[in-house]
Chain A
Amino acid sequence: MKSRLAVLLIASLALGGIASSATAQESFYEETFSLYGYIVNFFNANLYADDWRITGSDYGNILYGRLKGDWNPGDNLSFHMELDYNASVGNLNPGSTIQSASVDHLWGSVNLGRFDIQFGKLPIAWGAGYFFNPTSKATTIPFIESVSEETPGTVGIVPSVSFLDGFLSIQGYVALQDRSHSSSLLGNTGSWSNLPFGVKLNGIISSFDVSAGWIKEVFYISESDEFYRRHYGTADFVGAIWNFGVYGEAALKTWDESKEKLAFEYDPFLDLLDACVGFDYFIPIVDIDARMEYFHQGSGVTDPGKYEENFAKLISGEQLVLAEDYVLIYLERSFLDYFSISATGFVNLNDGSLGIFPELSGEPYGNFLVGLGAMLFLGDEGSEFDMQDPAVYLRCKLSF
């Protein structure tokens, strides 16, 4: 039988002789060109505390705008662009420029039956995880991003081919720039060895989507002016067990081109593995959406005394966090359809420090979203989150 909504929509097909029936205009929606987007204003106040007493504070603000455009000149052709603008002041200014604008996405798509190809500057967002994506090796995405959820565009080519009516497919990408997207990377870097790529085989098995693949990651290190070139075997899955949605993904380093030998020969297995596994569950009695995710970062360290070695990797985006093992718990309760209260707890399992991010958000009017939240950090001296200052923020987003 048809999907239920479709059932309801067409539930009276083939029935004649209804005297009261009326004839409707059969116009059909076609939008070949459209412009839309949003602006976000994110105001942040850092609170400096000593033994739970606030000793000072300062503020920062980010104004972020994103203009999106779609053009569909034919059934099998489409074009998409996204321009962004960022003005950062106060404690949110990274120290370089106050404002910047860029073309973040600019791509075309050609659909040729079972084969399609996208090319240009486009988001390559692999992975099944919600908070961490160890198989996403085409670009860096900050772990805590309160302003925009967008996946940065990477210049590249993304082909895919599907079989068995989509139950089996091969997806791939060739990126024409390294993962760092470094603006300090100048000159001719067009060595074939610096060409990142990924390929994976996706399948749908019962209620599970699974994939297995191979990725070459290339990352430019500006401090040493060199490229890391690493190969990974990858896998991910997403599906349901009983009433739990479950998911996971893993990237296992197999080969580092600079070392010219198999990774297993010089590093223990857990140091080669980036993986996340998680579940979501809707708790019916209290209507709470719950999610829990464990993340293992092979290149992280377990001894807080060695965090300093990883700072540069954190700043460059090569690593998301400093340590090796984390658990993230997310709880959200919605009310009146367009308002919610949520809390995210982020625990470093290696040093016991944690971050707690409560937020109250809502959409008082269509296209206008407002969120009020806080970032609180707890941990022993020298732990990862002990180094963070608490903050409160107000975020407003207006879509157009």
Chain B
Amino acid sequence: MNQTMKIAALATVLILATVTLAFTQEDALQIIREVERRQSTETSKAELSMLVYPDAGDSGNVREFKVISYGRGEEDSYMQFIEPRSIKGLSILSREGDQWVYFSSTGRVRKIAGKSKKQSVRGVGGDFSYEDLSAGDWEEKYDFRVSSSDSRQWVLEGIPKEKDPVYSRILIAIDKERYLATKIEYYTEEEGHYKDLEMSEIKQMGGREVPTRMVMRNYDKNSMTVIITHAMQHDVPIDDKYFNPTRFYK
């Protein structure tokens, strides 16, 4: 092969690789957007139980929390803890990447910022961090590519766009038929494969189908947290005060 042919072959390979990469990224983006489109709802309300197992292997050691959750638009959510009584009234507002927590014991609102978002909610514990509960746009936060695909699901790899993120990488498994996220793997710089979140037990709620059981397994702590959705409503009126940083706790 002469020099010219070698250069032509190399150029062809590079062009094909670039085109393939571009298509892969484009596909991933389209998948994420389709998941997003199917999830679109004006508002939502949910009744949840959170079961925290500090030792994943000990099913007898469990703490139960009851939560009311409201969602509005694309990025706003509000959670209020009802049980146990020791934290009744604790509320979390997530809005466009910002989070505020109202501690009913002190009557104060605290903004959650920086690495603190990696922590679980004070007084609640468990494996859902402020970051997991936060509002935010996957497309804005991560660059996605299709990591693998079979007849049943896509696995998308998300690499954070921001510097010093809480998670260094996530893998999302998406059901091809339903455009439903069924599993998320979380990776961090410090711990490597840190947590897995699995969704199951799909039920009809509020006229839509909802995964009513979510299990977060934390491999660093060997702990597990289960969230069970008891009831859910969609596109119902919700007072704007729940999404207002200066009023959500009143």
Please list the residues of chain A having a beta carbon within 8 angstroms of any beta carbon in chain B.
Answer: 1-16, 18, 20-29, 31, 34, 36-38, 75-76, 78, 109, 111, 116, 118, 123, 125, 128, 149-151, 160, 162, 165-166, 169, 171, 202, 204, 207, 209, 238-247, 280-282, 284-285, 289, 334, 336-338, 363, 366-367, 369, 397, 399-400
Contacts and interface: CB of A to CB of B under 8 A. Distances in A.
Contacts of A280: 113-114, 116
A337 B52 contact: yes
Given A125-B108, A207-B97, A2 B75 contact: yes
A5 B45 contact: no
A35 B230 CA distance: 24
A21 B209 CA distance: 8
Given A166-B246, A239-B111, A6 B214 contact: no
A282 B54 contact: no
Given A243-B164, A282-B119, A238 B113 contact: yes
Nearest to A238: B111
B133 to A, nearest CB: 5
B206 to A, nearest CB: 7
B120 to A, nearest CB: 7
Contact of A8 (B38, B181, B241, B246): B181
Contacts of B134: 3-4
Nearest to A237: B111
B54 A10 contact: no
B115 interface: yes
A171 B205 CA distance: 39
Contacts of B84: 366-367, 399
Contacts of A281: 114-116
Interface of B: 32, 35-36, 38-41, 44-48, 52, 54-55, 63-64, 66, 68-69, 71, 74-77, 79, 82, 84-86, 88, 94-95, 97-98, 105-108, 110-116, 118-120, 125-126, 128, 132-139, 164, 178-181, 188, 190, 197, 199, 202-206, 208-212, 214, 223, 227, 229-234, 239-241, 243-247, 250
B165 to A, nearest CB: 10
B113 A400 contact: no
B57 to A, nearest CB: 13
Contacts of A109: 250
B85 A1 contact: no
Given A15-B178, A21-B204, A166 B114 contact: no
A166 B86 contact: no
